[in-house]
Amino acid sequence: MAKIKTLYFCQKCGAQSAKWIGRCPSCGEWNTYVEEVVEKENNQSTGSWKPPTASPAAKTSAKPRPIGEIHYEEEARIDTHDGELNRVLGGGLVPGSLVLIGGEPGIGKSTLMLQIAMSLRQLKVLYISGEESEQQIKMRAERLGDQHPGCYILTETNTQNIFRQIDQLQPNVVVVDSIQTLQSGLVESGAGSVSQVRECTAELLKYAKETGVPVLLIGHITKDGSIAGPKILEHMVDTVLQFEGDRHLSYRILRTIKNRFGSTSELGIYEMQGAGLRQVSNPSEILLSQRTETLSGIAIGATLEGNRPLLVEVQALVSPATYGTPQRSSTGFDSKRLQMLLAVLEKRSGLRLGQHDVFLNIAGGLRLEDPALDLAVCAAVVSSLNDIPLSGETCLAAEVGLSGEIRAVSRLDQRLSESEKLGFQEMYISQFNARGLDLGRFGIRVHPVGRLDEVLTGLFG
C-alpha cells in the first residue's frame, strides 16, 4: 500500500507547507492553511484521463523547434448561438479551450450553461452536474423551452467515471457544474479542497488540449467575490468570465476577466426571465432610466466597453453635510477619481462642495473606468448642487484634467453614432477630438470645448 503523507495548503492562493503556519508567506493572509492528506506520486490511480490509444511505445519526448518552422492552421470557432457570449469570448468557443464562469449563488450560471448546451443543435454536448439531480436539470430544461436531443446529462463527481463516460460518448462540448464538486482518485482529500480543485482542473485541461474539445467550467466564489479554490485555477484556464448582477434585479452582466483568445474588456448583458436568460442587444436603452419628468443630478455619458459603445446614466446627489466630515460615496465609479473631480470643480469653477455630501451612482449596476465619463460626472454634480435639471437630449464624452481642461477621448465616432441612434440632439466633446473628424456626417449637434467652465456655462448658463 502506498505511503500517505499530510500537507498544509493555503485556501487563498494554493501555497503548500509541510507544517501549519499562521500567516501565508505567499499571499499574506492569516489562518488560511488547512491540512489535507495527499498520496505520493507512485500510487497508480486510474482517475486521470488518458487517450484511448495511448501506449508506452507511442510516447515521445518533445523537442525544441525554431519558431519559423512551426506552422498552424487557424481553426474556426464554435458558434454558441448566443451573441453576448460570443462577444465576450472573442468570437465564439475556441476548440480545446478551458473556460471558467464564476458568479454568486443563484445568479444564473447553471441556467446560462444549460441554455448554451441546448442551443448547440449541430453538436453533441455532455452536461456534467455534481450539484443537481437529473430530474432537477430536466425541470430547468423544460422551463427554458426547446430541448436539444444531442444534449446528454451526467450526474457524477468522480473523474474516473466521468472520463469513462466521455470516452464512450465522444462529445463535442463538455460542461462541468461545478469544478468544486469534482473529486479525483489521485488525491485523498475531500471535494472542493485546494488539491482536489487543482488536480481535477489539470485532468480536464489535459483532456481539452489533447482532444480539441472545449470545456466550460462553472466555479463558486468566496464571500469577497473571488473564485473559490487556489489562484492557480485562474492561471490554468484559458478564459475567466464573471457573471454579475443583483439577484433581486432582472439584469445580469457577463464580464471578461481573462481571455487568451480575445479582448478582456468586453461585456455581455442579459435579462433574467421566467423562460431563461434573454440577450440584451441594445443595452443603452436599459441603462437609461425611463422618467416621466426631468430631474436634477442626472447626466448622460457616452462610454465604451470593449468595442461596444454604451450610453449610461450618471446620477449624483449633493446635499448639505449634517455630521461633520462630508461623505464621498460612489457606486460603479472610482471613488478616488470622484474626489479628484470634486477638487477640480471647487478649485477651477469656484463651487463650494467642502460642506456637502456627494453620492454618485452609475445606473444599471455597471462598474466603469472610462475617463470619458468625467464630464458627465461633473455635470451631474453641478446639476444636483444647483437643483437645475439637464436637458434630456444632451450627452457628454470627455476627460477632465486637473487644471480644468477638457481632454480628448478615443473612438469618438462610435460614441457619436450611438448617441444619434438613440435620439440625442447634442453632445459636448473636447475641441481636440474635433480635429480630423467630419462632424457633418452625424445628425447630432456637437459642441467642441476646451475648458470645464465653457461646458458649465453652456449647460446651466
**pLDDT computed for residue 34 by the predictor:** 82
> What fold characterizes domain 79-281?
Rossmann fold (3.40.50)
**pLDDT computed for residue 59 by the predictor:** 46
Between strands 426-430 and 394-396, the pairing is parallel
Is the distance from CB of 406 to CB of 451 less than 8 angstroms?
yes
- Residue-range domain boundaries for the chain: 4-39, 79-281, 286-460
pTM: 0.75
Alpha-carbon Rg for the chain in angstroms: 27
Is the distance from CB of 415 to CB of 396 less than 8 angstroms?
no
- Which grid coordinates are listed for 18? 509541510
DSSP H helices in 334-406: 335-348, 374-386
CATH classification (class only), 286-460: alpha beta
Helix, strand, coil percentages, rounded to 5, for the chain? 30, 30, 45
Q: What's the pLDDT tens digit per position in 328-363? A: 999 999 999 999 999 999 999 889 898 899 999 998
State the average pLDDT for the chain: 86
Q: What's the pLDDT tens digit per position in 265-309? A: 788 889 888 888 998 887 777 777 666 567 899 999 999 887 788
* Local confidence band at 45 (pLDDT 50, 70, 90 cut-offs): very low
